Amino acid sequence: MTLAASILAGDRLSLARLLTQVENDSPAGRAALMELFPHTGRAHLIGVTGAPGTGKSSLVNQLALHYRKQADKRVAVVAVDPSSPFTGGAVLGDRVRMRDLSGDPNVFIRSMASRGSLGGLAQATAGMVQVFDAAGFDVILIETVGAGQSEVDIARLAHTTLVVEAPGLGDDIQAIKAGILEIADILVINKADRPGVENTEKALKSTLELAHPTQRVFHHHGRYSYATVETPFDAKLWIPPIQKTVSTEGRGIPELVEAIARHAEHLRTSGDWAARERARLEVELEMLIQEALVARFREDVPPQQFRQVVDRMVQRDVSPWEAVQSLLNGRSK
């Protein structure tokens, strides 16, 4: 039986091992992803992002508990923490807040290191999510690296993106800057029992009032990536709700889960679900093409030639752009 087949049959050890293969981008991992791909596209992908210390892990823990107890859904968690830029090592500590989930065979938590990616996810996160999707998990919670202002990759991957804030983290100027707040489908003010919660709520509310709802087509590396399925003009626009939670006590969680369900319903009725699905696959395709082209380029250009061009750049003989031209023209002779 192939690795992919045993995962479809529900084997947890094979699942864990395949996640490693996918994370390491091994040939076996790629082969299994191909086999599993037709079985994907069923899960609800929920992204959870926000600054470090806002309580993302605890919130994920509570959401997973709720989906297990109230809805009997199978829940997977992918939790990303940063890798050291110097040693490549990492301490992945999100499980510390998720101990309530242990002992339940219908929950599967996987920690992953960002391994040099800067967008708040790791390069292999999308692949790992596909594996969980194919394995029959209904809800996949994706927790990003503690994200500051522009780590917005999660919005390209998830159907529903929660941006988690906490009282006392910034003023209303922070709230009108571009970036992370724009990607929120739902704004969560966690630690809502803390002083200052009114100010945070006010700042976020005024942001939402200033914003005019826009069509969500993403810039990808500075370019638009078009979603070809378009939202009809008369479709209702989604205004991100603000949900207050105290995740250590489970307060506000049922209301948050309801808001997530409303968002999923909105995506389906407006046609946005299909549009996002299409945009996501387009982005993934484009990234894989880039990877493949770079790999092919590296195979074609001998390291010696590459070094020579760098030498000439150092001597100011050629500009970086001329260097690119000469390497691209010089290949596959």
Partner 1 sequence: MSDKKIRVLVAKPGLDGHDRGAKVVARALRDAGMEVIYTGLRQTPEMIAEAALQEDVDVVGLSILSGAHMALAPRILDLLKGNGQTHVKVFLGGIIPDEDLPRLKEMGVTGVYGPGANTEDIINDIRGALAEKA
Beta carbon of residue 298, minimum distance to partner 1 (angstroms, whole number): 11
The closest of 129, 154, 130 to 144, measured between CA atoms, is 154
Q: Which helix (H) or strand (E) holds 276?
A: helix 272-300
Alpha carbon distance 255, 261 (integer Å): 10
In the complex with partner 1, the residue whose CB is nearer, 91 or 310, is: 91
Beta carbon of residue 312, minimum distance to partner 1 (angstroms, whole number): 27
> CA dist 77 to 104, 187, 256, 271, Å?
13, 20, 17, 26
In the complex with partner 1, the residue whose CB is nearer, 85 or 195, is: 85
In the complex with partner 1, the residue whose CB is nearer, 21 or 243, is: 21
In the complex with partner 1, the residue whose CB is nearer, 84 or 269, is: 84
Residues paired with residue 81 on neighbouring β-strands, in sequence order = 113
* Neighbour-count burial for 183-206, b at 16+ CB within 10 Å, e otherwise: bbbbbbbbbbeeeebeebbebbee
In the complex with partner 1, the residue whose CB is nearer, 101 or 197, is: 101
Beta carbon of residue 20, minimum distance to partner 1 (angstroms, whole number): 5
CB atoms within 10 A of CB 57: 21
Beta carbon of residue 111, minimum distance to partner 1 (angstroms, whole number): 5
In the complex with partner 1, the residue whose CB is nearer, 23 or 272, is: 23
Q: Do residues 31 and 225 lie in contact, with contact meaning Cβ atoms separated by under 8 Å?
A: no
For 195, the token pair is 């002083």
In the complex with partner 1, the residue whose CB is nearer, 28 or 274, is: 28
- Name the site residues for partner 1 (rule: CB under 8 A): 12-13, 16-17, 19-20, 24-26, 83-84, 87-93, 95-96, 99, 102-103, 108-111, 113, 115
Beta carbon of residue 110, minimum distance to partner 1 (angstroms, whole number): 6
For 170, the token pair is 């910034």
At 10, which amino acid appears?
Answer: G
Beta carbon of residue 95, minimum distance to partner 1 (angstroms, whole number): 5
For 298, the token pair is 């590296």
Q: Do residues 43 and 75 lie in contact, with contact meaning Cβ atoms separated by under 8 Å?
A: no
In the complex with partner 1, the residue whose CB is nearer, 115 or 266, is: 115
Beta carbon of residue 9, minimum distance to partner 1 (angstroms, whole number): 15
Q: Which helix (H) or strand (E) holds 107?
A: strand 107-113
Alpha carbon distance 206, 183 (integer Å): 16
Q: What is the 3-state secondary structure (H, E, C) of 138-196?
A: CEEEEECCCCCCCCCCHHHHCCEEEEEECCCCCCHHHHHCCCHHHHCCEEEECCCCCCC
Beta carbon of residue 13, minimum distance to partner 1 (angstroms, whole number): 5
In the complex with partner 1, the residue whose CB is nearer, 99 or 219, is: 99
Beta carbon of residue 109, minimum distance to partner 1 (angstroms, whole number): 6
